[in-house]
């Protein structure tokens, strides 16, 4: 057999082995994905440490660990559990949700809602406390000179001052003084929270929710609030809810 023929045969054999090896790696990767467990991905990495699937396998192992830790933290549902989770997975998929729940625990403990200045963005749609302007009674004018002509139909021609209409947000939320009931990672979850709370507490049934969007740790946070006509009403509501173990913090 000629040397050229031997070389061709050797090359074909090498190609065949390489293709078989690639096929074997692909099959093992599909098997690991089908199992989708930490053990399956670790076993794949041991068998194919230099595979092109090495990076996605490591990323999936990391995500599975975070999901497992998040389930444990959610089941414990304590401030310490969420703080430990954030310390371990500061940039993970569930990190912001953990931070929101930490804020809820801290609000309930401190009895004070974070001021807008404490966040990186002012809550969208939040209504400031409206103070009615002071109206100074008109001062009686000095008697006019005897040769001065009296004004004709002054009272009839004078237009009454326009009455300021309350802001639409104030009407829909019930007032410009707010009580905060919780914080959420999205408006959808805040709406779900309101549905649950308003169905549970009779004091909330006649009120309308207000969703103040702000920023916490560089991420969006939606704070669930209700508006009331006065700060006194806010404190009365919070006192009633706290007796039922529901967090309620006066914002204004």
Whether 10 and 56 share a structural domain = yes
Number of domains in the chain: 2
Whether 118 and 24 share a structural domain = no
* C-alpha span between 106 and 81 (Å, rounded): 13
Residue 45 located in a structural domain: yes
Mark 226-237 as b/e (b = at least 16 C-beta within 10 Å).
Answer: bbbeebeebeeb
Residue 118 located in a structural domain: yes
Residue 83 located in a structural domain: no
Whether 115 and 43 share a structural domain = no
Whether 121 and 48 share a structural domain = no
The answer for residues whose C-beta is within 8 angstroms of residue 170's C-beta and 6 or more apart is 127, 130, 176, 227
For position 197, which CATH number holds? 3.30.70.1070
Domain that holds residue 186: 110-125+170-250
* C-alpha span between 117 and 191 (Å, rounded): 24
Tens of each residue's pLDDT in the chain, 252 residues: 565 555 555 555 554 555 455 568 999 999 999 999 999 999 999 999 999 999 999 999 999 999 999 999 989 988 899 899 989 998 888 888 888 888 888 776 655 554 443 433 333 333 333 333 333 444 444 444 444 454 444 444 444 444 444 333 333 456 789 999 988 888 998 999 999 999 999 999 999 999 999 887 777 889 999 999 999 999 999 999 988 888 888 886
Walk across the sheet containing 177-184 and list its strands. Answer: 209-216, 219-228, 177-184, 249-250
Q: Considering the entire predicted model, what is its pTM?
A: 0.52
Residue 233 located in a structural domain: yes
Residue 98 located in a structural domain: no
């Amino acid at each position: 057999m000629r040397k050229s023929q031997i070389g061709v045969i050797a090359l074909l054999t090498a190609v065949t082995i390489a293709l078989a090896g690639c096929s074997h790696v692909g099959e093992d990767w599909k098997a690991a994905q089908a199992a989708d467990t930490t053990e399956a991905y670790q076993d794949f990495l041991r068998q194919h440490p230099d595979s092109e699937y090495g990076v996605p396998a490591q990323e999936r192992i990391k995500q599975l660990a975070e999901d497992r830790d998040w389930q444990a933290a959610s089941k414990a549902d304590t401030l310490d559990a969420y703080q430990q989770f954030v310390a371990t997975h500061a940039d993970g998929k569930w990190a912001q949700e953990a931070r929101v729940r930490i804020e809820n625990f801290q609000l309930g403990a401190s009895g004070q809602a974070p001021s807008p200045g404490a966040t990186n963005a002012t809550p969208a749609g939040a209504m400031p406390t409206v103070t009615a302007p002071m109206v100074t009674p008109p001062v009686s004018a000095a008697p006019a000179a005897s040769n001065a002509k009296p004004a004709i139909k002054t009272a009839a021609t004078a237009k009454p001052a326009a009455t300021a209409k309350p802001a639409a947000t104030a009407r829909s939320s019930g007032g410009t003084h707010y009580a905060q009931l919780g914080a959420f990672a999205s408006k959808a979850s805040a709406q779900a929270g309101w549905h649950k709370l308003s169905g549970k507490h009779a004091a909330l049934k006649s009120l309308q929710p207000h969703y103040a969007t702000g920023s916490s740790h560089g991420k969006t946070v939606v704070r669930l609030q209700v508006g009331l006509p006065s700060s006194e009403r806010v404190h009365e509501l919070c006192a009633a809810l706290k007796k039922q173990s529901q967090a309620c913090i006066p914002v204004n």
